[in-house]
Amino acid sequence: MARTKGSVGHRKTAKPRPRTAKARRKEASAKETAASSAQVVRLRKMVDELKKRLEREIRARGIDVKALKNMRQLRDRALQQISMLKKQGSELSRQLKQALSDADKREKARRQALAKIEELRAEIARRKEEIARKSQELARLARESAERAKTIVMSEPPAAEPLPPEPPLEPPERETTSENPPGSPDSHD
């Protein structure tokens, strides 16, 4: 039987040919290329991801830097306001102490004035009583004098001759002492 191509017969299986070094290198190179291209893809993804992270970090740090700068400015303003408030507080404290001192002085002066008023009222009341007592005594003396005058006038017989006019009342003479000898300008001779 003749073998023809395409006939189904018993065919010998071919032994695999030993691979050459070149083929092995090519195959290894292809595997390495595939592995390295996969690694390159992974590395590119990682680089992209790191770039994105870095951009986010930069933005965040930029925001953080701006926020930090704003916070420092706010802190400086707050410190200035605090120092101003401390100054105002010490000034107000001084004014309050002075006002309290003035109020204490005024209160002391008011108490002294009230005590003086009470003293003067007591003096006025005492003098009123003295004046009232003296007025009563003068009224009593005036009544007694009027009674005496009445009794004198009633008891005297009518005089036939008129009485000589009385000299005007002169001020009482001063007693002469060794200081004012007679004939001095102060003596009344």
Q: Tens digit of pLDDT for each residue in 80-125?
A: 999 999 999 999 999 999 998 999 999 999 999 999 999 999 999 9
What pLDDT sits at residue 189? Answer: 46
7 vs 70: which has the higher pLDDT: 70
In whole angstroms, give the CA distance from residue 147 to residue 155: 12
The residues, any chain, with a CB within 8 Å of residue 181's CB and separated by 6 or more, are 187
What pLDDT sits at residue 61? Answer: 77
* pLDDT single digits (tens) 7-41: 555 566 666 666 677 776 777 677 777 777 888 88
Supply φ then ψ for residue 84, to 5 degrees.
Answer: -65, -45
Is 70 exceeded by the pLDDT of residue 167? no
130 vs 170: which has the higher pLDDT: 130
The mean predicted confidence, pLDDT, of the chain is 80
What pLDDT sits at residue 186? Answer: 55
187 vs 11: which has the higher pLDDT: 11
Question: Which structure tokens are listed for 98?
Answer: 């002075």
Is 50 exceeded by the pLDDT of residue 127? yes
Domain ranges in the chain are 22-120
The helix or strand, by DSSP H or E, that contains position 187, with its residue range, turns out to be none
Is 60 exceeded by the pLDDT of residue 151? yes
Task: Measure CA 131 to chain center.
Answer: 58
- For the CA atoms of 90, 94, 96, 98, the dihedral, rounded to the nearest 10 degrees, stands at 180
**Residue whose structure tokens are 């039987």:** 1
